[in-house]
A and B are shown apart, each in its own frame.
Chain A
Amino acid sequence: MNARILMNPKPMTLRPTDTVAVAANQILKHHLRHLPVVDEQGRYLGTFSIYSLLKLTLPKAVLDKYGLDKVSFVTENLGDLAERFAGRCEEPVKNWVNIHEVAGPDTSAMDIMLLMLHGRTASVPVVDKTSKQLEGMISFWDVLEKLMAEKV
């Protein structure tokens, strides 16, 4: 069993110029965690996720890898956070995408499960190596569904 069989070939996608607000609405409405971002030719550019939303709500200074170990001295309330979130809502999603590790259409089921486990992610984009086209998305639910449907 490989990626082609496991994946959803018609996932919901974003354009790099779509705003954060559009992405946030999609995520909330469909309870998604990851939205792949593709250009006009359908090439995969990265993933906008719930983690992108968390990131853009926080001060940049607390996200730096050599940054603050502890931020409990910052007494930001929900209003402060909402203000920052609102301030970034009109930014294009391309400012906040993450490049995830991707699978190819022929990647094995086991490799995909390892990608999910080690990357602590519930969905893996399937991208053609040469054309960079997004072929589909595999979510953990797709995998579980196929697993439980197998006759053993």
Chain B
Amino acid sequence: MHGSEAGTASLLFGLNPMWAAAILFLITYVVIMSEKINRAIVSLLAAGLMIVLGILNQEAAIQGIDFNTIGLLIGMMVIVAITRQSGVFQFMAIWSAKKVNARPWGILVMISLVTAVTSAFLDNVTTVLLVVPVTLLITEELKVDPYPYLFAMIFSSNIGGTATLIGDPPNIMIGSATGLTFNDFVHHLAPLIVVIMAMVLIPIYLIWGRRLRATPEARERVMRFNEREAITDYRLLKYCLSVIALVITGFVFAKALDLEAATVAMTGAALLLLLANLGRDAEHQSEHVLDSFKEVEWITIFFFVGLFIVVHGVDSTGLLRLLAEKMVNMTGGNLTATTMVILWASAVLSAIVDNIPFVATMIPLIKAMAPTFGGEQGLLPLWLALSLGACLGGNGTLIGASANLVVAGFAERAGQPIRFFRYTLLAFPIMLLSIAIGMGYLYWRYL
């Protein structure tokens, strides 16, 4: 077969490497989907087996890990861990609620925008972790049903995350694998995201928004909130905002400076760690640095590491190339048809299963299609379709994205649970609407 270039070691039991890899890969997927075993454990174990079974040797396995994705994720997580302590996210939520005079629908729109913009630059889970508590407090003071607010926040976090390279893990992976830059994502996806965000608010308005009411006394209580009090440390806030501005500037000029995204994020993280710990003695520094590192989502990071190895193992046997050929044959080598298949399939699949392993698998598969569509440049619509499908598809069900589950957790603890079926009934069609808009956009601009 193809693929021995990845450094295949001697294979155990004389199994055909392609079959061995395919079986291991399928079992890994099923176990990840069953959610009976922590996903980091599953992916690391499967990665180990890829090597033990002789499909990859260790050197080839390490080459399979996309350290640009890993570095970018860790760097941003450290920056967020420090920034969240400044209280700036609560500040933005309260400030925006007061800007609309605490009118219930106005607040829903503003909170959605804050969530979308924040998610575009930070991890979605972090964003909702920071904004949901304030939102619940505001709805409680207004005595309005928090459900529409939480529903809108799930959508805005996933939609906002689609707009930039760093907004959502699928984009980070796609960007890293294809060389699409921060500016490329903004250029190709941000205009569409603005439209989708506006369109998604329409059904939310029709279903709930027009009936949201709050008494003048309740609104007065929210207007009395003092957002300045939410800022815990002005000095820290200044450092955080400066470093974030610097990091985003770094992303924008990454190509011109010949820098990779991980370098920008990790250097930004190190700089912010330095600034935040100025004036602390060595012992306290260790304590604070450790605290920041602890907030990195290590489960996600190790999940990625294992997954990259597993997918690389499968890829090295030539299986994904074979699948890519089959898919291209199925669509008759037609770019429009292939784009649509990828868009809709990834949307529906991402609503049901974790989009990270899906995207990790699709990347080498799409890359293998390059000869059919006139080289790497010809693949752009396919990458955009994958990004849109994988990121927006997450809105379809409550388990479609980790941010959804975090919001549901808050709702549950606040005694206002979001039920799986009730959520899906509305969310799935609204998700399909967003994909349909995306389809029109891709067709109009790229096909």
Binding site for B on A (CB under 8 A): 59-62, 64-70, 72-76, 80
Contacts and interface: CB of A to CB of B under 8 A. Distances in A.
A61 B94 contact: no
B407 to A, nearest CB: 11
Nearest to B87: A70
A60 B228 contact: no
Contacts of A73: 90, 94, 225-230
A72 B232 CA distance: 10
Given A62-B137, A67-B133, A76-B221, 12 more contacts: A59-B140, A60-B415, A61-B133, A64-B410, A64-B413, A64-B414, A66-B129, A66-B410, A68-B134, A69-B85, A74-B137, A74-B141
B136 interface: yes
Q: Which of A59, A70, A72, A74 has the most B CB atoms < 10 Å from its CB?
A: A74
B224 interface: yes
Q: Which of A68, A72, A73, A75 has the most B CB atoms < 10 Å from its CB?
A: A73
Looking at chain B's contact residues, the main secondary structure is: helix
6 contacts: A60-B415, A64-B413, A68-B133, A70-B90, A75-B226, A80-B221
A76 B141 CA distance: 10
A120 B388 CA distance: 51
Contacts of A66: 129, 133, 409-410
A77 to B, nearest CB: 9
A136 B90 CA distance: 46
Contacts of B137: 59, 61-62, 68, 74
Interface string B125-142: 000010001101100110
Contacts of B232: 69-70
A33 B137 CA distance: 28
Q: Which of A59, A61, A66, A75 has the most B CB atoms < 10 Å from its CB?
A: A61
A76 B414 CA distance: 20
A60 B133 contact: no
A78 to B, nearest CB: 13
A68 B90 CA distance: 9
A72 to B, nearest CB: 4
Nearest to B135: A61
A55 to B, nearest CB: 12
Nearest to B228: A73
A61 B225 contact: no
Nearest to B230: A73
A68 to B, nearest CB: 5
* 3 shortest interchain CB distances as A-B pairs: A61-B137, A73-B229, A61-B136
A111 B308 CA distance: 50
Contacts of B94: 73
Interface string B214-229: 0000000100111111
Contacts of B228: 73
Nearest to B406: A66
Nearest to A87: B143
A80 B217 CA distance: 10
A61 B414 contact: yes
A61 B143 CA distance: 12
Given A60-B414, A64-B413, A80-B221, A72 B133 contact: no
